[in-house]
Amino acid sequence: MSQKPITRPKAPIPEAHEIPLLTKADWSAKYPQLVTYLTQTEWEDGKRRQTATLLFFVEGGRLRVCLNDRDCNRSCFLTVASMDDALEALENGLFEDTLTWRYRQQGSPGR
């Protein structure tokens, strides 16, 4: 099978207020802590919270994942064997509060 060239989208992707992939029962049931972390827009005290982002990438031939907490200026990086392993590790790490975070200084790129 030959490769299909990557083409530029014809129209901008609209900004969604709901993330259907993450709000489906299978994601929410399997990774409730992670889904909440990625989608919750308020802190427990009612103050506005900027949602987190999740990035998968390959670096040096290894699968890596980055959970970026934009509101707290911190990121967590994991090297994993599969995407399922990444999601499971993030779910457990968030629940048990065992993730190792790297903090950025205010005003640093990425916020």
pLDDT digits (tens, 9 = 90+) for 61-86: 999 999 999 999 999 999 999 999 99
Domain locations in the chain as residue ranges: 20-101
Determine if the pTM surpasses 0.85: no
Q: Which two tokens stand for residue 23?
A: 């709000």
**Residue 64 CB partners (closer than 8 Å, separation 6+):** 56, 57, 58, 77, 78, 79, 80
| CA–CA gap between residue 55 and residue 75 (Å, rounded) | 11
Given a cut of 70, whether residue 40 has pLDDT beyond it is: yes
In 3D space, the residue among 32, 31, 75, 27 whose CA is nearest the CA of residue 55 turns out to be 75
